[in-house]
Amino acid sequence: MMNGNSTRDFPIASSCLNLPSSVAAYSLNITAVPQGQLNYLTVWQSGTSKPLVSTLNSDGRVKANATIVAAGGGGNVSVYATDPTHVILDVNGYFVPAGTSAGLAFYPLPPCRVVDTRVGTGALAGPPLNAGVSRSFPIRSSSCNVPSDSQAYSVNFTAIPRATLSYLTVWPTGEPQPFTSVLNSPSGTVTANAALTSAGRDGQISVFATDNTDLVIDISGYFAPPGNGLSLYLTTACRLLDTRASSGLPASGGTLPARLVGDGCSIPASAQAVVLNATVVPSGALPYLTLWPDGQPQPNVSALNAYDGAVTSNMAISTVSSGYINTFRANPAQLILDLSSYFAR
């Protein structure tokens, strides 16, 4: 357990046996099991100063969030918690330095809804997930133009539980179910979490839920062999936007453009996609937040949900257009965007 106002280093490289020494960054799912309210928790590269950003917040409930974090000395990452909490770190992928021939490249897609079990019936539709029964989804069979050579996906999972949901797990179809989790909803509220997920047999992914729940899966890109794809470039974590600190930026709902390039966070004009942590501080129930490239129509996807009005965070990989992305808040909420890295050629 971590004490309040404490920092601890975790040796990720030595904990997972198949990680190469060339790892530059990890794709992690971090789950906090607080002993009470957790003001915030931050994850960053060991050996560097703690950045002025946050990874997740909790009112005392078990909460998870995805993050991409640079590997520090010895392959470690650092975690800071304002209040006593247990911490669980699950690895679902890693990045090697840009230009490494053995690595996969990232190919962004227009944000697109792949699965919605609330609608109809079919391989990418209903019925809902049954408690304790795994189900596979053929991601490449969707209308989202995911190609046959895709080997992993950047996706956002949203669970709409029928009651409580202890946990939901995702893995490549054909492999054993792992002892990890992607999200938790102990109160039964609609809960989202992003993940990088490898493609399994025939490009499918498998999902297991401990309790009955509907599931929505949105995709923002895929990983495939290098060609015209993008590489990950690491940067110092930086706060891009905080509507609480700017009287000119409204807390009301609606569309708000967010400037990424030339904003002081060292993002070059060559950046074509960014890795963000989005945090909302709602005035009440917030059905959803959506992020998408500037200049494109608003897509039918969501980045996070806060129906319960709680401070809520989620990672998002978003394509950049003309140096901007658009954000849409369905109801009034303050919005915070923290940047951790970007993709470029």
C-alpha to C-alpha distance for 175 and 180, rounded to whole angstroms: 13
Could you tell me how far CA 311 lies from the centroid of its own chain? 16
Residue 21 DSSP code: T
Helix, strand, coil share (%) of the chain residues, nearest 5: 5, 55, 40
Q: Which CATH number fits domain 105-224: 2.60.120, 3.30.450, 1.10.10, 1.20.58?
A: 2.60.120
Handedness of CA 123, 124, 128, 129 (dihedral sign): positive
Q: Judge contact between 100 and 38, C-beta under 8 A.
A: no
| Predicted pLDDT at 19 | 85
Phi and psi for 141 in degrees, rounded to 5? Answer: -85, 0
105-224 against 231-344: fold identical: yes
Q: Judge contact between 17 and 59, C-beta under 8 A.
A: no
Phi and psi for 323 in degrees, rounded to 5? Answer: 80, 5
For residue 153, give the amino acid letter.
Answer: Y
Q: Which CATH number fits domain 231-344: 1.10.760, 2.60.120, 2.10.260, 2.40.128?
A: 2.60.120
| Predicted pLDDT at 249 | 58
C-alpha to C-alpha distance for 53 and 215, rounded to whole angstroms: 29
C-alpha to C-alpha distance for 199 and 242, rounded to whole angstroms: 35
Domain boundaries, the chain: 6-95, 105-224, 231-344
Tokens 């794709």 label which residue? 27
Residues 156-170 have pLDDT tens digits of 999 999 999 999 999
| Predicted pLDDT at 15 | 78
User: Residue-wise pLDDT tens for the chain (345 aa)?
Assistant: 999 999 999 999 887 767 888 899 999 999 999 999 999 999 999 999 999 999 999 999 999 999 999 999 989 999 999 999 999 999 999 999 988 877 899 999 999 999 999 999 999 999 999 999 999 999 999 999 999 999 999 999 999 999 999 999 999 999 999 999 999 999 999 999 999 999 999 999 999 999 999 999 999 999 999 999 999 999 999 999 999 987 555 667 889 999 988 777 888 999 999 999 999 999 999 999 999 999 999 999 999 999 999 999 999 999 999 999 999 999 999 999 999 999 999
Helical spans, DSSP H, in the chain = 12-15
3-class secondary structure, 103: coil
